[in-house]
Amino acid sequence: MAFTDLIPWRRGSQAPARTSSENLFSALQREMNALFDDFFRSWGSATLPMPRMTFSPSITVHESAKEYRVSAELPGLTEKDIKVELSGNALTISGEKKEEHEEKRGTTVYSERSYGSFYRSIPLPEAVDRNKVKAQFKNGVLTVTLPKTAQAKAAHKQIPVKAE
Amino acid sequence: MKDLAKKTAPATPVTVERTHDWPVYLPDVDIIERNETFELYADVPGVDPNSITVNFEQGVLTIRAGRPSAAPNTDVIYSEFEPGEYERSFTVSDQIDAAKIAAQYRNGVLVLTLPKVEAAKPRKIEVKVS
C-alpha cells in the first residue's frame, strides 16, 4: 500500500495535486470566515483577516575569513518581490511569490511549487559590519553578503604549523 | 493527460552511467494545460543556465541541471541545500509535438513549452445549416 493511500483525498489519484487539497481547505476556511464575518458584523466588528498561503525558502550560510554569506533559494521571484532587512541582531528575508503563470485559459494539471508569502529570520553574529551588507539576486537565489568587522577579522589568526 | 505528470524519477528510464556521487534532486514542477500547449515550470534555482540540458528520447523528456558548489575557502555553517544535480524525467504522450518543445530559463525557473499536435488541439466544429 502506498503512503498516499492513507490520505483520504489522495486515494486513487494519480497526480497528488497539492493545490487541490489546499483549495479544498481554503474553500472551507473561506466559508467559515464568511460565516463568522456575517455573525460578527451585526455587532459592527471588523472583518477577520484571510489566512494566506506561506512557504519557507531553503537557506544556507557560508563563512569565510572575510565574511558571512547567506543564500536563499527563491525561484520564480524577481528582486522586486524580496525584502531584506537588518533589525537588531537579525537578518530578515521576506516577500511574496505570486503565481507567474496566469490561470487564464489554462488548467493546472500538476502542482508542487510553492506560492504565497515567506519570512525567514536569521540571527547574526555580532561581528558583522552592518553598513557594508550587500544583497544580490541571481538565477533564483538571493545572496546576502555580510562582511566581518575589522576587529573580528583581526581576532582570527591562522597559526602556521612548522615541521622540526 | 496524466502521462505527462507521471513521476518517473526514482527509476530513471533513460540509462545513465553515473560517474559521480553527489546528490540528485527532484525539482518541484507545475504543469499547466492550455488550449494549444502544455507548460512545465521547474524550480531549479542557482544553476548556471549553460548547465541545463533538456532531452527528449523515446517519449521521455528529461531535464538536468547542475547545482554549483560553494566558493573555495568557505565553511558551511548552516545548510538546507547542498551542491548536486537536478534531474527529473517525464513520460510524454504522443499528444505532444516533440519537435517543437521549447525551453527558457528565468529567475531560477526552467519553463518548457510543449505544443500539442494538430490532432490533439481543441476544435470547434461548425454546424452547417442545410
Question: What ipTM does this complex have?
Answer: 0.74
Structure confidence by residue, pLDDT tens digits, B55-97: 998 889 999 998 877 667 788 888 888 888 899 999 988 888 8
Q: Under an 8 Å CB criterion, which residues of A touch B?
A: 14-15, 58-65, 68-69, 71, 73-78, 100-101, 103, 105-114, 139-141
Q: Which of B36, B29, B28, B93 minimizes the C-alpha distance to B60?
A: B93
Q: What is the pLDDT of residue B11?
A: 43
- The DSSP secondary-structure symbol of A140 reads T
Q: Which fold has domain B2-10+24-116?
A: Immunoglobulin-like (2.60.40)
Average the pLDDT over A83-97 and give the result. 90
pLDDT higher than threshold 70 for residue A163: yes
Average the pLDDT over A16-26 and give the result. 58
Q: What is the pLDDT of residue A42?
A: 53
Rounded CA gap, A88 and A109, in Å?
Answer: 44
Average the pLDDT over A18-31 and give the result. 68
Q: Which residues in chain A have Cβ-Cβ distances shorter than 8 Å to B110?
A: none
Strands (E), B58-121: 60-67, 75-79, 84-91, 102-106, 109-115
Tell me the pLDDT of chain A averaged across its residues: 78
Q: Which residues in chain A have Cβ-Cβ distances shorter than 8 Å to B66?
A: none
> Sorting pLDDT into bands at 50, 70 and 90, what band is B41?
very high
Rounded CA gap, A152 and B22, in Å?
Answer: 34
> Does B78 sit within 8 Å of A59, measured CB to CB?
yes
> Does B32 sit within 8 Å of A106, measured CB to CB?
yes
Joined together, the cell numbers standing for residue B71 give: 566558493
Determine what percent of chain B falls in helix, strand and coil, rounding each to the nearest 5.
10, 40, 50
Q: What is the pLDDT of residue B109?
A: 94
Q: What is the pLDDT of residue A88?
A: 80
CB B66 within 8 A of CB B48: yes
> Does A113 sit within 8 Å of B43, measured CB to CB?
yes
> Sorting pLDDT into bands at 50, 70 and 90, what band is B31?
very high
pLDDT higher than threshold 80 for residue A49: no
In a mutagenesis test of the B interface, which of A4, A59, A67, A110 is the best target, namely the one with the most B β-carbons within 10 Å?
A110
Q: What is the pLDDT of residue A18?
A: 46
Q: What is the pLDDT of residue B12?
A: 44
Q: What is the pLDDT of residue A47?
A: 47
pLDDT higher than threshold 60 for residue B6: no
Q: What is the pLDDT of residue A9?
A: 55
In a mutagenesis test of the A interface, which of B30, B75, B78, B116 is the best target, namely the one with the most A β-carbons within 10 Å?
B30
To the nearest whole Å, the CA of B130 is away from the closest chain A CA by 33
Q: Which residues in chain A have Cβ-Cβ distances shorter than 8 Å to B30?
A: 101, 108, 110-113
Q: Which residues in chain A have Cβ-Cβ distances shorter than 8 Å to B76?
A: 60-63
pLDDT higher than threshold 50 for residue B7: no
Rounded CA gap, A156 and A153, in Å?
Answer: 5
pLDDT higher than threshold 50 for residue B106: yes
Q: What is the pLDDT of residue A73?
A: 94
Q: What is the pLDDT of residue A3?
A: 61
Please tell me the number of Cα atoms within 13 Å of B97 on its side-chain side: 13
Q: What is the pLDDT of residue A44?
A: 46
Structure confidence by residue, pLDDT tens digits, A102-159: 566 688 888 888 888 999 999 887 788 889 999 999 999 999 999 988 887 777 777 8
To the nearest whole Å, the CA of A109 is away from the closest chain B CA by 5
Class for the domain spanning A54-99+113-155: mainly beta
